[in-house]
Homo-oligomer: A and B are copies of this chain.
Amino acid sequence: MVHSTSRTWLAAAAALALASPLSAQSRVYGSAEHSFRVVTVAEGFEHPWAIGFLPDGDILVTERPGRLRIIRNGRLLAAPVEGVPAVFAVGQGGLLDVVPHPDFASNRLVYLTYSKPLGGQESTTAVIRGRLDNDRLTNVEEIFEAQSRGRGHYGSRLAFDGRGYLFVSVGERMAAPSLLEAHPAQDFSNHHGTVNRLFEDGRVPPDNPFVGREGYRPEIWSKGHRNPQSLAIHPVTGQLFEAEHGPQGGDELNLIEPGKNYGWPVIGFGVNYGSGSRIHEGTARDGMEQPLHVWVPSIATSGMMIYGGDAFPGWKGSIFVGGMAGEQLARIELDDSGYALEETLLKGIGRVRDVREGPDGFIYLAIDEQGTGLTPIVRLEPVAR
């Protein structure tokens, strides 16, 4: 957000060098509550997008070009999982989120989101589930296909609330923000810019806020989002949090409540990339929700996890959000007025696409460092101090 004349001057001002953390993995990182190391779990991925943990210790990783990979006993298996649907692997499209069902141990169900090819250059966000047996996905069934058209910005994340519901986020598909109220993210008859709530088999819960209302998609739980690449349930309170990848200066952290409109593109904090030109009518309007926190400048949010483990007790309840352009892991604490503080961890680690809590309580990151090929899954392990 610096105009060009300042940029050179600022370059000279950067008195400290922000060295790449991954270049020295044995180093110990300090932070307010914990010291930790960053340890490589596996590497050699192509655009890793999401991480899922199975109860037998296997770790699933989606690769955006369309592969579902398995890390087993610390090794990345060469063969991807068979049975994954064909994806529209163009631009931001491809195989996206992966989340095992909370009762995977008994039902072996894995859920995936992806950009589904619709013919020609058309694609949409869809959710399938399948049974994972012998490293093959079988009985694949589509449980949701978003009513959306456009380029990129698919969302898409999944979150089970453990009470029988599944939340699915869908991006605004890059429709022109200048449409304002006429933007599809403000039109409830489609799924552009939504969080949706389904039963785990894809049926629509009858108590969803817009069920039975003409001109409203019944799956919609909230509307008016840009590109929600982050979705997580609080492990204690059950609250649903979302972060959305905004325009320049407009990444948001939101508390999601049913039936609410989060305002894209009518209100927001961002400007257009490059030109810095105006997008929104303002930052607030009656009937549209305010974010809990905004990143100005943007970090390019992707992935989110609310920590509930024991390996980092001082981080219980903290919201972790990955930053791609920001090359960082953001830790946010809440207090009774909402947002309390932000701590930037691992600045310079690379493009953090996903962040998940492992069953061991360690914090796993998917890094997608385009260009360098440095695309590992790493994890944070605590170091006593």
Contact = CB atoms under 8 A, between A and B. Distances in A.
Contact of A335 (B14, B285, B314): B14
A213 interface: no
A236 B296 CA distance: 25
B337 A10 contact: yes
Contacts of A333: 16, 18, 347
A347 B337 CA distance: 14
Interface string A1-34: 1110111011111111010000000000111111
Instruction: State the copy count for this chain.
Output: 2
A317 B32 CA distance: 20
Given A1-B338, A334-B14, A340-B18, A278 B269 contact: no
Contact of A292 (B2, B11, B234, B293): B2
Contacts of A317: 13-16
B271 A278 contact: no
A255 B10 CA distance: 9
Nearest to A272: B284
A329 to B, nearest CB: 11
B343 A343 contact: yes
The size bracket of the interface on A is 35 or more
Interface in A195-253: 234, 236-237, 239, 249
A34 B30 CA distance: 7
B339 A297 contact: yes
A341 B328 contact: yes
A235 to B, nearest CB: 9
A257 B6 contact: yes
A29 B385 CA distance: 12
A139 interface: no
B289 A278 contact: no
A92 interface: no
A284 B289 contact: no
A316 interface: yes
A133 interface: no
A364 to B, nearest CB: 20
Nearest to A10: B338
A243 to B, nearest CB: 13
A15 B31 CA distance: 19
A16 B282 CA distance: 34
A270 interface: yes
A294 interface: yes
Interface string A324-366: 0010100001111111111111010000000000000000000
9 contacts: A1-B293, A10-B255, A10-B336, A15-B316, A270-B283, A282-B282, A291-B296, A294-B294, A326-B341
Q: Which 3 A-B pairs have the closest CB atoms?
A: A15-B317, A294-B296, A341-B344
Given A10-B255, A269-B283, 18 more contacts: A1-B338, A3-B289, A7-B336, A7-B338, A14-B335, A14-B336, A15-B237, A16-B318, A18-B333, A30-B31, A30-B33, A32-B344, A271-B283, A277-B284, A293-B296, A296-B296, A333-B347, A385-B385
